[in-house]
């Protein structure tokens, strides 16, 4: 075991694994593929958030006598997008994973933490984000729809809230089921490897 630990710590890249450790090399490649996909996803999220924030504040700027309700809703959406964007990037840092491989325990600990962050994002951050988004949109609608009859305002408030909550719940469930088949086994394998090196 000590020989394996020493050999594994000295490897810089997956191609340096020997044939008997090919399974470990495959696991590491799978993890870094996930990291690359996450980086691309984060870039798209960041662009979408920046454009949305710019649109919201541009809309607020050009609105005549925008109410406190509209300002509050836009402020909530801005803050939550910034926080969600920061957390999304935390799942995928700019660390040199090839350098981390030189210290096997550190690499595995970091990989496990990044993979578990995906579950936190999906099961905690996204539902909280969705709830705040619904609250923010309804605050904006209080100001924007103030001239409509009360019944129509309630229909719009409830319709938008149910539509957003339903869509997010469907997406979270779909992605969670997918990640249970791909991410969870990888976490278990990494944790077993880490225990074996201790």
DSSP 191: H
CA geometry: angle at 182 spanning 177 and 183, to 5°?
95
pLDDT at 100: 57
Q: Residue 77, class by beta-carbon neighbours within 10 Å (0-12 exposed, 13-18 middle, 19+ buried)?
A: buried
pLDDT at 3: 44
For residue 198 the two structure tokens come to 């201790």
Number of residues that this document lists for the chain:
198
Block means of pLDDT (10 residues each) for the chain, 198 residues, are 44 39 75 86 93 91 82 93 89 61 72 85 89 91 81 88 92 87 85 74
pLDDT at 141: 85
Quickly count: other Cβ atoms within 10 Å of residue 2's Cβ: 7
For residue 168 the two structure tokens come to 């997010």
Q: What is the largest CA-CA distance in the chain?
A: 76
pLDDT at 170: 93
pLDDT at 88: 86
Quickly count: other Cβ atoms within 10 Å of residue 161's Cβ: 18
pLDDT at 102: 54
Distance CA 11, CA 15 (A): 9
CA geometry: angle at 8 spanning 6 and 12, to 5°?
120
């Amino acid at each position: 075991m000590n020989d394996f630990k020493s050999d594994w710590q000295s490897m810089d890249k997956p191609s340096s694994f020997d044939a008997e450790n090919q399974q470990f090399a495959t696991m590491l490649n799978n993890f870094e593929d996930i990291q690359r996909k996450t980086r691309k996803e984060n870039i798209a999220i960041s662009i979408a958030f920046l454009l949305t924030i710019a649109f919201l504040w541009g809309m607020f700027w050009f609105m005549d006598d925008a109410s406190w309700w509209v300002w509050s809703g836009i402020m909530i959406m801005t803050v939550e997008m910034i926080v969600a964007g920061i957390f999304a990037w935390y799942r995928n840092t700019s660390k040199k994973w090839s350098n981390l491989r030189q210290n096997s325990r550190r690499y595995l600990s970091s990989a496990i933490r990044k993979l578990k962050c995906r579950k936190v994002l999906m099961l905690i951050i996204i539902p909280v984000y969705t709830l705040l988004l619904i609250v923010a949109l309804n605050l904006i609608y209080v100001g924007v729809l103030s001239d409509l009859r009360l019944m129509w305002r309630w229909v719009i408030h409830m319709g938008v809230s149910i539509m957003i909550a339903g869509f997010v719940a469907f997406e979270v469930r779909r992605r969670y089921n997918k990640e249970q088949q791909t991410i969870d086994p990888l976490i278990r394998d990494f944790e077993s490897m880490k225990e074996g090196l201790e």
